[in-house]
Amino acid sequence: MSDRPAETSHVPRTLWLGVIVWSDDPEVEPTVIADRSPVALARTMAVTIHEMLEDSDAYAGATEFLQSKPPPRDWVEPRDVDDWLEALREATPHPSFSFHRLPITGGADGSNHGFVNRYLEQALREREQALAKELSLRTSEGPATRPLER
């Protein structure tokens, strides 16, 4: 028998979700990552995005961005991850990311699945509306054109 007290199960009061939107193409599913710690979540999201940028040539300017920013092995402090993510946000519209804090209540497992599902649906609708608005602004501006001379 152990002299240590029995560990009690601690159910977190908050769950952090990170959403990575890879493209403005509605057929491309976003990646959703969850963690109890916002710091761990930010690191996981940054590493996930970094790996995708390394492995894909689908993102214009990704090579230059990765060469100009420190790689994950050099991220020592949480601020290093935050700086990298903010630089990415400034450099390109996609991949884009967002963080969401979900309070957790109810349920035997500590979760309220109805609440979580409603929250995720609302967050997805808001993101889709924001993307649609961005796309309509871009297309309404259109490329600079000159009238055809006859």
Q: Which residues contact 102 (CB under 8 A, 6 or more apart)?
A: 14, 15, 16, 17, 115, 116, 119
What integer pLDDT is reported at residue 111 of this predicted model? 59
Judged by DSSP in three states, 129 sits in helix
Q: pLDDT tens, 3-48?
A: 555 444 555 578 899 999 999 888 999 999 999 999 999 999 999 9
Q: pLDDT tens, 40-98?
A: 999 999 999 999 998 887 787 888 899 999 899 999 999 999 999 999 999 988 999 99
Instruction: Kindly list the domain boundaries of the chain, sorted by start residue.
Output: 14-114
Q: 59: which DSSP letter?
A: S
